[in-house]
Structure 1
Amino acid sequence: MSGERAQRRQRLHFNLFFPFAPDYVWSQQSRTDIYYDFDALTRLVQSAERGLFSGVFFGESLRLREHLGVLNTDAITGRPDALVLFAHLAARTDHIGLIATLNTTYFEPYDLARRIGTLDVLSGGRAGWNIVTTDSAWTGANFRRGGYLDHSDRYTHAREHVDLVQALWDAWPSTGTRSPLPAVEWFDTWYRVVAQPEWPRSPQGQPVFFQAGESDEGRDFAARYAEGIFSRYLDFDAALDYATDLGRRLVAAGRPADDLRIFPATSVVLGDTQADARDRHEWFRGQVWTDRRTRAVVEKVWGRDLSELDLDGPLPDEPPAIVKQSRSHGVMNSRDRPHLIAQQWRDLSRERGFTVRQLVRHLAPSAGFVGTPASVADRLAEYVHAGAIDGLNLTPTAFPDGLDEIVDRLVPELQDRGIYPDRYPGTTLRENLGLSPSVARRADRDRTVAV
């Protein structure tokens, strides 16, 4: 399947990805609130558009994240409303796609369809929807519905949600209007809706669907619905295996093997020489991995305050304070197995001679591409030609000017290798990603709906 993907498409896409964790140098800014500043965000997105990025993708946090029961001050834990922000950016950009993360668990289908459909029309067909679902009671408490959805139901619920949104979009005719529009009548497991859409279609027909599920169920969901997928597989062999697996699932779902764009997340650190790039990378990691952030990684597993812990010494002698971590306290990193993870970390530290600081650095993800512009471009060309990836979700290493080196130095090298555009192919996100008409209008759907 990867060979078919590689043969049929040889183009790299960049998305600007703005994460929650401080994967950029906070110390370069005197104001922490600049990360919520619309003018600064606009400057960053305009830099991405200057570099012909296909889209800008913001993650979503529907509740401020906590650490040991208090607000996590080591990361940007909240977000402006994505669709309001993207309406602002749509007026200040011309081509770049605007990909909003919107949750199927807590957003009502009609409201979601109306809001993102409005953005799609407003932006001239540049909207994308990153479809996410959750069963987190901790998040749901903000919506008066904490824990209403069982973990086993999250994807069956998401499928019905997306199908209902699609039915609402499909109710508007492809050309012209008719009055009155027929009502969408939906009576199924999770929703009982009778609604009449009130927004027209955009030039791209409807927003582009993205997804980031990792489980087998999540991958099957992507094969059924997604047109872009956000991946964590950056190692070449793992990325190729992932692309091959998705290709098989796409074919099984009745779609071409290359019908989905794969975007692993990463950062790029450039230098004038390989040694210069490595030095810059190490400096960057030292800046973002502060003592407080390093200690917090261990505290999340031990479940208690470790402010007296010597980071240049060994892990705590005492066992973690809890046996099982609760999902109600936000994002955790020990997969609800603190004692097992603690023992694995101790074994690794003894084997490698790691201090706490060295262990956390070893466990932390590193920039995927470090080198000169030419060497990074050569490496990316290998991925593209093999069909392992279609693009990257790029995290800037500084804010708001962390993309300038990529735009000015890396993009020209990629263009010289024929794998990156020298202009936007069209005016819509769908055109700029080289996508066919939406999957929903090409594939059969099992819907309980009358239009």
Structure 2
Amino acid sequence: MSGRRPRGPRPPGAHCHLAACFPDADTTTVWTGPAAGSPIEFSSFEHLARTAERGLFDFLLLAEGPRPREQQGPVHDRDVAGRPEPLTVLNALAAVTERLGLAATADTTFHEPFELARRLATLDHLSGGRAAWRVAASAHASTGENFRRGDYLERAERYPRAAEFIATARRLWDSWTPDGASQPFAHQGRHFDIAGEFTVPRPPQGHPVVIRTGRSGEARECAAATADVVLAPHGTLEAGRAFYADVKGRLAKYGRTAADLKIMPGVTVVLGDTAAEAQERAATIRRRLISPQRAVLVLERLWGVDLSAYDPDGPLPEFDPVADPRLTRDLARHGDAVATAGKLRALSKEKGLSIRQTVIETSARQSFIGTPEAVAAELAEFVREGAADGFVLVPQLTPDGLDEFVDRVVPLLQERGVFRTEYEGHTLRSHLGLPVPAGDGRTTPSPGT
């Protein structure tokens, strides 16, 4: 049977959860070479999903891109192949996997609760209880042009809308009786005023698993209140422990325990037979990720002007970024553009870095670099020391970056007793050890199946 290994001793103490993220067309993954495949062909998704299930991973996460990224008008070269809709792909993957959780990123800014809750419930039924929803609240003004509502949702409104969206979706999932009868639902709030009857019986998991990010204080609070899994920013062991304690410490006020929420940083892994080889491979990947043209494009997004006349091997612009309101809204995640540009210039001058070298230094970040033994030990330490409950791996090389981790690191984690040797249940909630929500808003212990 897919995803099964010989039974071993039950892992004592801390247990590590693992997930994989289908590589996005960004500065994280190398999509070059004749064997790399395509980010829109089903074979690429199928290969990664089958590999993740072979490695006994909890779930596969697909990113979302409701609008191609643009650079002064033209679409980014890495987005020209297209960005498929995640739930459609995951419904297809449900047919070629048996145990792997299937997580879709979906935006609460431009979707509506009824249609998204219906699609997620459908995936949960088709997969036998393996659906998950990564909640996104779009920060891009240009995305709104693709939707009827249009325009842009200010930051102060994004989190309240997302919280109400999740609450409304859960009310819809709970609107059927235990014996399978549809009941009318109604919700009236600040962002949504809807009433009717839901078309899909209650999902096998009660509710699909809800995944959120938690970088800012506001995001952490929302995650503590509404999420089952938090995609934490990865950093040092000490920073991870502080983040872990902060988010878990917020749960009690919502009547939740530490076991009700899993914290899983997104990470990359570069392996080598020796530490030196791993470092050399990591440097090669960074150079492949950031081409000279790509380096200039990255700076253009921050500066807000055409920098094509600048030499990638030359110094950074001395002038400050342009205060373009539209660009500022689209790049909200960069914070203050002027301050960020100042930091980049200071780093460039301090280390004598060119434009390309500066971009490589600051954007092509890699989390764990070393031999399989060293990486397994470090991953286990993060879990043992209360810095993470597990990790979401983003393969840096396609198509076989995840295969290397599954073949070389997973067996070592199993030998350490911190990772499963077989799937014990069939649903994603059972993999994660999460409770099953009761229809009245309460929760019950997660079953083994």
Contact 1:59–1:101 (Cα < 8 Å) also in 2 = yes
Q: 1:25: which partner in 2?
A: 30
Between the aligned partners of 1:246 and 1:410, the Cα distance in structure 2 is 28
Report the Cα offset of residue 334 of structure 1.
4.1
Q: How does 1:190-269 map to 2 (within 5 A)?
A: 190-269=191-270
Q: Which of the residues 15, 18, 32 maps onto 1:11?
A: 15
Q: 2:154: which partner in 1?
A: 150
**In structure 1, what residue type is equivalent to 2:39?**
Y
Q: 1:111: which partner in 2?
A: 115
Contact 1:100–1:129 (Cα < 8 Å) also in 2 = yes
Against the structure 1 CA distance between its residues 244 and 441, is the aligned structure 2 distance closer, same or farther, given a 3 Å change threshold? farther
Between the aligned partners of 1:392 and 1:439, the Cα distance in structure 2 is 28
Between the aligned partners of 1:328 and 1:347, the Cα distance in structure 2 is 22
Between the aligned partners of 1:154 and 1:197, the Cα distance in structure 2 is 25
**1:171 maps onto 2:172 in alignment:** no
Report the Cα offset of residue 9 of structure 1.
5.9
Between the aligned partners of 2:40 and 2:218, the Cα distance in structure 1 is 35
Q: 2:90: which partner in 1?
A: 86
**1:53 maps onto 2:52 in alignment:** no
Against the structure 1 CA distance between its residues 441 and 236, is the aligned structure 2 distance closer, same or farther, given a 3 Å change threshold? farther
What CA deviation, in whole Å up to 9, does each residue of 1:250-274 have, x standing for no partner?
A: 1222211232111111111111111
Against the structure 1 CA distance between its residues 329 and 151, is the aligned structure 2 distance closer, same or farther, given a 3 Å change threshold? closer
Between the aligned partners of 2:121 and 2:305, the Cα distance in structure 1 is 45
Between the aligned partners of 2:399 and 2:364, the Cα distance in structure 1 is 22
Per mean C-alpha deviation after superposition, the further-off stretch among 327-336 and 217-226 is 327-336
What CA deviation, in whole Å up to 9, does each residue of 1:114-142 have, x standing for no partner?
A: 11101100000000011122354321111
Contact 1:137–1:328 (Cα < 8 Å) also in 2 = no
Per mean C-alpha deviation after superposition, the further-off stretch among 128-137 and 327-336 is 327-336
Q: 1:279: which partner in 2?
A: 280
What CA deviation, in whole Å up to 9, does each residue of 1:42-86 have, x standing for no partner?
A: 012111111111101111111111112211114578521111111
**1:368 maps onto 2:367 in alignment:** yes
Q: 2:380: which partner in 1?
A: 381
Q: 2:426: which partner in 1?
A: 427
Report the Cα offset of residue 434 of structure 1.
1.1
Between the aligned partners of 1:135 and 1:35, the Cα distance in structure 2 is 23
Per mean C-alpha deviation after superposition, the further-off stretch among 144-153 and 63-72 is 144-153
Q: What is the DSSP-based 3-state SS (H/G/I as helix, E as strand, rest coil) of the residue aligned with 1:249?
A: coil
Contact 1:233–1:264 (Cα < 8 Å) also in 2 = yes
TM-score normalised by structure 2 residue count: 0.90
Against the structure 1 CA distance between its residues 342 and 215, is the aligned structure 2 distance closer, same or farther, given a 3 Å change threshold? closer
Contact 1:324–1:336 (Cα < 8 Å) also in 2 = no
Q: 1:337: which partner in 2?
A: 337
Contact 1:138–1:327 (Cα < 8 Å) also in 2 = no
Between the aligned partners of 1:325 and 1:315, the Cα distance in structure 2 is 23
Contact 1:273–1:371 (Cα < 8 Å) also in 2 = yes
Q: What is the DSSP-based 3-state SS (H/G/I as helix, E as strand, rest coil) of the residue aligned with 1:100?
A: strand
Between the aligned partners of 2:106 and 2:440, the Cα distance in structure 1 is 21
Against the structure 1 CA distance between its residues 228 and 14, is the aligned structure 2 distance closer, same or farther, given a 3 Å change threshold? same
Report the Cα offset of residue 187 of structure 1.
2.2
**In structure 2, what residue type is equivalent to 1:49?**
E
Q: 2:68: which partner in 1?
A: 64
Per mean C-alpha deviation after superposition, the further-off stretch among 325-334 and 387-396 is 325-334
**1:359 maps onto 2:358 in alignment:** yes
Q: What is the DSSP-based 3-state SS (H/G/I as helix, E as strand, rest coil) of the residue aligned with 2:249?
A: helix
Per mean C-alpha deviation after superposition, the further-off stretch among 415-424 and 292-301 is 292-301
Contact 1:228–1:260 (Cα < 8 Å) also in 2 = yes
Report the Cα offset of residue 39 of structure 1.
1.6
Between the aligned partners of 1:325 and 1:414, the Cα distance in structure 2 is 48
Contact 1:231–1:262 (Cα < 8 Å) also in 2 = yes
What CA deviation, in whole Å up to 9, does each residue of 1:72-124 have, x standing for no partner?
A: 11457852111111110000100100011111121111111111101100000
Contact 2:17–2:432 (Cα < 8 Å) also in 1 = yes
**In structure 1, what residue type is equivalent to 2:432?**
L
Report the Cα offset of residue 12 of structure 1.
1.1
**In structure 2, what residue type is equivalent to 1:337?**
A
Q: 2:398: which partner in 1?
A: 399
Contact 2:291–2:356 (Cα < 8 Å) also in 1 = no
Between the aligned partners of 2:311 and 2:333, the Cα distance in structure 1 is 21
**1:183 maps onto 2:184 in alignment:** yes
Between the aligned partners of 1:12 and 1:292, the Cα distance in structure 2 is 39
Report the Cα offset of residue 346 of structure 1.
2.2
Q: What is the DSSP-based 3-state SS (H/G/I as helix, E as strand, rest coil) of the residue aligned with 1:15?
A: strand
Report the Cα offset of residue 365 of structure 1.
4.1
Report the Cα offset of residue 441 of structure 1.
5.5
Contact 2:139–2:330 (Cα < 8 Å) also in 1 = no
Contact 1:22–1:76 (Cα < 8 Å) also in 2 = no
**1:101 maps onto 2:102 in alignment:** no
Q: How does 1:31-46 map to 2 (within 5 A)?
A: 34-46=38-50
Between the aligned partners of 2:167 and 2:72, the Cα distance in structure 1 is 39
Q: 1:4: which partner in 2?
A: none
**1:314 maps onto 2:315 in alignment:** yes
Report the Cα offset of residue 305 of structure 1.
2.4
Between the aligned partners of 1:271 and 1:440, the Cα distance in structure 2 is 49
Between the aligned partners of 1:256 and 1:439, the Cα distance in structure 2 is 16
Report the Cα offset of residue 333 of structure 1.
6.3
Q: 1:125: which partner in 2?
A: 129
Between the aligned partners of 1:77 and 1:189, the Cα distance in structure 2 is 38
Q: 1:139: which partner in 2?
A: 143
**In structure 1, what residue type is equivalent to 2:300?**
E
What is the aligned residue count?
A: 432
Report the Cα offset of residue 387 of structure 1.
1.6
Against the structure 1 CA distance between its residues 409 and 69, is the aligned structure 2 distance closer, same or farther, given a 3 Å change threshold? same
Report the Cα offset of residue 398 of structure 1.
2.1
Between the aligned partners of 1:383 and 1:406, the Cα distance in structure 2 is 17
